[in-house]
Each structure stands twice: as C-alpha cells, then as structure tokens.
Structure 1
Amino acid sequence: MPVTRAKKFCIDVRTATSHFPGVGRYASELARAMSRILTLGEELSLICSNARELRGLPGKVTRLTTSVSPFSLRQQLTIPRLLKRHDIDVYHSTYYLMPYRPVVPTVLTVYDLIPALFPSSVGLRARLFFRLTHRLALGASTVVIAISRTTGQALATHYRLPPEKIQVIHLGVAERFKPASTEAIQTVRTKYGLPSDFALYVGINKPHKNLERLVRSWQKAFRDTSRLLIIAGPWDSRYDDVRRLLQRPEVQSNVRLIGPVNDADLPILYSAARLFVFPSLYEGFGLPVLESMACGTPVACSDIPALREVAGNAAVYFDPEDVDSIGLVLSELDADDSSQEKLREAGLCRAATFTWDAAAAATLEVYRKTADAQTRP
C-alpha cells in the first residue's frame, strides 16, 4: 500500500512579539493549544523570527526560522519559497501583512476593521496602506477566520466577501486568567500604589476606545467621593486629549494612569478591581472583558455588537456615546454589592466557555477542510 504523507500545517508566528501584543497573544496561544491536539498524520510548523520563540511545545512541531519581518517586501518571495521547500499543505497568516501570492492554500485571521471603520484612528498614509494590504490579503486567502460574528459581518459588508469564505472562531481566555489570592492582590496593590477599592480599564488610548467620555463620566459620577478609576495600558502620544483632561485638578483626584502592566501582573490586577469598565465605540472582540470575567471581576461595558456577543448576560451595558448613561450604570453598579456578586458568578461561567483548546480545535478543522478541498479531484 502507498504511504500517505502527513498533512503539514503552518502558522506564521512572527507576530508573537511585544510589537504586536494582541496579535502576538493570538498566535502564541493558538500554536500552543493546537500542538496538543494534532492527530497521527498531522504536523505543525511555525514560521518564527528566531528559534527561541514558543519553546517547549508538545507534539511534533517544526520551527521554520527566518529573519524576514512581516513589514519587509522580501517576504513576498521568501515565505512562499519556505512553504514550498517544506511541502506545507495549509499556511495560516495571523496578520494581514503576508505574502500575497502564497503558492499554497492560505488561512487569514482578521480581528477588526478599525482603520476602515474609524479612519480618524490612523493617518492618511496608514489608512491607504491598510486599505491596499487588507484587500490583497483577503484576495490571497482561501479562508478568512473572523474572531467574532461582528467582524465576520463587517468583512462581508465592507469587502463583499462571500459568506462561505468566512469562518467565525472566537478567541479563548488563557488559563492564567483566574481569581488571584489575597496575598497576590496585596502585592500588586503595593507595587502600583493602588487603594483597596478601584475600578479598572485596561487597553490603549486610541479614539475608538472612548476614554475621554469614560473619564468625564467617572468624574461627574464620583467627584464627591474618593472612588478611583485606574487606566492601565500603553499610551499613544498621538491621542493625548485624555492626558490633558487628567491634568485638571478636579479630575486628578478620581482618575490615575499607571501605564503598561506586565503579563504576570495583569490577572492579579483584574482580580484586585472592584469592577472592570470597557467603554469602546467599536471592538472586533473585546478580550479584556473576558479576561476580567475569568478573574471574577464584575464588568460594565459598551452596548455594542461585539461586546454583547462576547459578554452575553454576564455584564451590564451602557450607551458609550452618552456620558450620563456611562456614569449612571457605573455608579449604580459600584453601590450594589448584590449585583456585583451576580455578575461575578455569571462572568466566571461565561468566560469558562471561551477556551483556546476550543479555538484551536475549530481552527484545525478549517485546516483539514482546506487541505482536503485542495487534494480532492
């Protein structure tokens, strides 16, 4: 009998770096989970920037190391050659900067369409670059994975992709996101100079994150109290309206920036918060909402499609464009211990349904079907 060659799947994890925090987390978590569930006759390769990335993976995993960056035009030749040399059956690009003639069936993951839907969040040159490269990537892909129904619908509407080309596969929550111990919480409070009670926002400060309305609503609702809103995450100096707002004396007493938080501290910071608030005008998914739920923190967030899809009935919602709505929901939740406890329990149950094992299994099934369609006579 002829020997059947193993199916070879390849994930491009060159984005698993600090330069791509969200995309990098997706690439690394997906690769780790998938390496555990490969069956006999399936092999996984990772295109890496160096041989040290994602070490210690179980299963048969091969590293294909290249010095070529996703930003380099050289990848248009280098990556397809690499794929052909190693007989890859399906290539998975986790970013839209990819080879646009990949020579093998290709899966592309799309997270959101923020530059297209919120053009003010990027400059003109970046907007034009996104428009061109996104269309090239979508055109080069055999299958497009959308991380939410919201993103899938936006792809179908904005780029007129046929529905059969889009597969919705939700993200997972890493296992390290869980309620922290009292001792760990106290350590993080001391490290960042935090009080025992505070509300938390985690994320960047780009316009669609809606931080200015959040700060105004918080100051209006809690100006006569000592209740503190902590804003954690990297800061983009191109969008400094919020920082200028925070320089006002009447705001400084209620809102504090603490900057980026390392990955080890993040689950503990979520656990330490009295409540988590996420006021985005648009999201492709909203992973911080799930992460905070997994840590047992009550969530108040924007009433937008992606967050409804992710949080379900385990959050309270507000109109993100209405300062009074945001403030009312936050003040009512802050004062209601019973509602907080119900949300805490509901959030833990909700977050438990989003796992990287499930995401990896669904993605692996996409690879299999894509490979089978290619070999079918």
Structure 2
Amino acid sequence: MKIGLDTAPVTSRGNYCRHLADVLAHYAPEHEYVVDAKHHGDVDLFHGFSFSLPLSVHLGRVPAVMTVPNLNFLRYPHLYSLSERLIALRLYRRALRQAQRVITVSTPAREELSERLSIDPSKIEVVMPLAARVPQEPPARAELEHTRRKYGLPEQFILMLGTVEPHHNHEAVLDALAALDSNVGVVVCGRRTVYSDFLLRYARERHLAARVDFIYELTPADLPALFRMARVFAYLPDVRSEASIVPVVEALRAGLPMVLSDTRLNREAAGNAAAYVNPEAPGEVVAALENALCDESWRQTMRQRERRRAELFSEYAVAERLMQIYTSL
C-alpha cells in the first residue's frame, strides 16, 4: 500500500509527519510512504494533519485519515476574526465529512470533537502522539555540561516545558520556589510570548529572578540532555487551557519524576506515574515539589512506573495502532 502523509516544510507539523513517516517505514516496511505533496494524487490512502486534503480525496478516489490536533478556533474565538472562524469551520467540516477515520490524541479531545462538530463517535479513533526521539544511551557528562553552559542552567532545577500561556499555572511553581531549597531553580522552556515576559516581571517582583531561567529557542538535539539534568518535571495546565499530552509523554519516556495538575488529560497520559496537584492550592504544589525533589524512594518508584507507562507511547505502539486503522479502510 502507498500511503501519503501530510507535510508542511519548516513547521512543527511537517517535522512531526516526517518523524512519523520514518517510524512507519521502520516498523511497517512492506508499505510505501509518500511525503512529497506533488505525488499525493498517486497514493492508496492519505493521512492528513490539517483541513487541507488532496484533490484525489475530495473526488472520492482515495480514502483519507485525518488527525485533528485541536479546535482552538472554537475554544478561543476571541483569538480569531469572524471570517477566520467561519472559513476554518467550513473547511474542517468538509474535510471531516470526507475522511473515513478521524484521529485525536486523547479521549477528552475525542469527546470534544464529537460534540462540537457533530462527528459520529464511532468514526473517531484515539492514537497517542509520538514523542520526541530519546536516545537509547543517556547523554555523556561532557554533553550535559556543554548544554548546561549553553543555556546557563543551575545544578538543580524544575523543568517546565511546553506552551507558555495563561492557564498553565507557571506562577504556582514560581510561588512555590520561595518555600523550596534555595539551590533549586526553575527552567521555563517554550517560545517567547507576552505571558513569558509577564512571568519574568512576576519573578523579579518576588526577588526570584536569579532562580528562574527561560529558554525561548531550544535546539531539539539538546532536549535529552535537558531532561537528564532536570530534577523534576512540572506541568500544571488547568481545564481551561489547550493543553497537550506531548510534554508529559516526553518526560515519561525520559524517566523524569513529574508533578502534574490533576486533569483528566494528564491522568490519561501519566496514569499512576506522577504526583497530581490542584495548581490553585499553594500548599499542595509546595508539598508535591518538595517530595519530588527530595524523596529518593518515591523518585525511584516513579521511574519504575514511568518505564512501564512509557511502553504505551513507544514508536512501535503508535505504528501498530496506525497500521490497524490504515488497513481497516
């Protein structure tokens, strides 16, 4: 079977699709994978990651699978003009009607898609996303020190990786920092936003700026070293945020002890391999972070659970699930 995969050069979506094509080619080499859009008209099946589908799909000649990463234009209408929302809604509805299968990355996303766009739930499949590749061998000490110097990182730090936007409760971790050992810092990793500038001012006002570092542009190859150096991973989006399970999956696969907000999405990803807190309860956040930093027995238990949990998100598991969907059409 010749399978076409949606690509967008120099974008996170394009990088993800090329990563997925490599994984599928490794675990299901009996099929051919086409990532060049010029040849998408000559495939047996197309897997798209946006509402832009090839003409062959629109004409009904090629079956399609469509992954819907989010419905931001419906969740956050104030961020889009009326014309943008109407166009996106029309294009999404058309693409979803034409796709034989629709993929989301979590059960809550599946339910939201069904409710908001009236998609038959039996047509929607949940497939966990691929995380960034983690090398089999941990980074060497020299590589760790090079990365530490490159970004000016402290010896001990709590890592916050992902979207730096309101409702992700970075302030809760900064507030907790004052109650933790003075040798511990926080590293906020994500593209620069208005909110990240607010967080920097927030830290300065509380005399914590010396213990908070921001990485706005992370070289992807440095991610394994960053996970290796971090002491704890904190990810505290609330239910109002457009959260992703990808940062949690990456921390799981890296074996980094985690403190997560107690949301359905986080629990679906991490299971019993994390500590869960209410970000609006300062005492809970402080206690969980302090325990995650200092209790070696707990940390070892979490690492063991993470290794088992990470198997659900392995490249093999994702490839196998997708091939089941592809071959059913």
State the TM-score bracket (shorter-chain normalisation): 0.7 to 0.9
Q: Which residue of 2 aligns with 1:102?
A: 58
Alignment CA distance shift 1:99-1:218 (3 Å): farther
- Given the alignment of the two structures, is residue 280 of structure 1 paired with residue 237 of structure 2, yes or no? yes
- Paired residue for 1:47, among 36, 43, 53? 36
Given the two structures, how large is their TM-score scaled by the length of structure 1? 0.76
Q: Which residue of 1 aligns with 2:117?
A: 159
Q: Which residue of 1 aligns with 2:7?
A: 13
Task: Output aligned runs, 1:1-377, within 5 Å.
Answer: 7-14=1-8, 17=10, 19=11, 21=12, 23-38=13-28, 40=30, 42-48=31-37, 64=38, 83=41, 86=42, 88-98=43-53, 102-103=58-59, 104-119=62-77, 122-125=79-82, 127-177=85-135, 179-215=138-174, 217-222=175-180, 225-237=182-194, 240-248=197-205, 250-281=207-238, 282=241, 285-370=244-329
Q: Deviations over 1:255-294 (max 9, x none)?
A: 2212221111011101100111111124564112221222
AA of the residue aligned to 1:201: M
AA of the residue aligned to 2:6: D
Contact kept in structure 2, 1:301 and 1:315, CA below 8 Å: yes
Alignment CA distance shift 1:327-1:184 (3 Å): same
Return 335-344 or 123-132, whichever deviates more.
123-132
Distance of 2:146 and 2:69 partners within structure 1? 34
Q: 1:314 deviation in Å?
A: 0.8
Contact kept in structure 2, 1:271 and 1:292, CA below 8 Å: no
Q: Deviations over 1:160-199 (max 9, x none)?
A: 2112110111123344255433332222112212222111
Contact kept in structure 2, 1:171 and 1:356, CA below 8 Å: no
Alignment CA distance shift 1:284-1:227 (3 Å): closer
SS at match of 2:237: coil
Q: 1:31 deviation in Å?
A: 0.6
Given the two structures, how large is their TM-score scaled by the length of structure 2? 0.86
Q: 1:238 deviation in Å?
A: 6.9
What RMSD in Å do the two structures reach over aligned CA positions?
A: 2.6
Larger radius of gyration: 1
Alignment CA distance shift 1:207-1:301 (3 Å): same
SS at match of 1:204: coil
Return 128-137 or 149-158, whichever deviates more.
128-137
Q: Which residue of 2 aligns with 1:58?
A: none
Alignment CA distance shift 1:303-1:283 (3 Å): farther
Query: Structure 1 stretches of 5 or more lacking a match?
Result: 1-6, 49-63, 66-81, 371-377
SS at match of 1:207: coil
Return 151-160 or 281-290, whichever deviates more.
281-290
Q: 1:316 deviation in Å?
A: 0.7
Distance of 2:214 and 2:80 partners within structure 1? 25
Distance of 1:115 and 1:213 partners within structure 2? 28
Alignment CA distance shift 1:110-1:221 (3 Å): farther
Distance of 2:89 and 2:178 partners within structure 1? 39
Distance of 2:242 and 2:49 partners within structure 1? 18
The number of equivalent residue pairs is: 322
Distance of 2:184 and 2:195 partners within structure 1? 29
AA of the residue aligned to 1:31: A
Return 243-252 or 342-351, whichever deviates more.
243-252
AA of the residue aligned to 2:97: G
Name whichever structure is richer in helix by fraction. Answer: 2
Alignment CA distance shift 1:244-1:99 (3 Å): farther
Q: 1:118 deviation in Å?
A: 4.3
Distance of 1:157 and 1:119 partners within structure 2? 17
SS at match of 1:10: strand
Distance of 2:248 and 2:135 partners within structure 1? 11
Alignment CA distance shift 1:286-1:99 (3 Å): same
Contact kept in structure 2, 1:146 and 1:169, CA below 8 Å: yes
AA of the residue aligned to 1:182: R
What percent of counterpart residues are identical? 27
SS at match of 2:65: strand
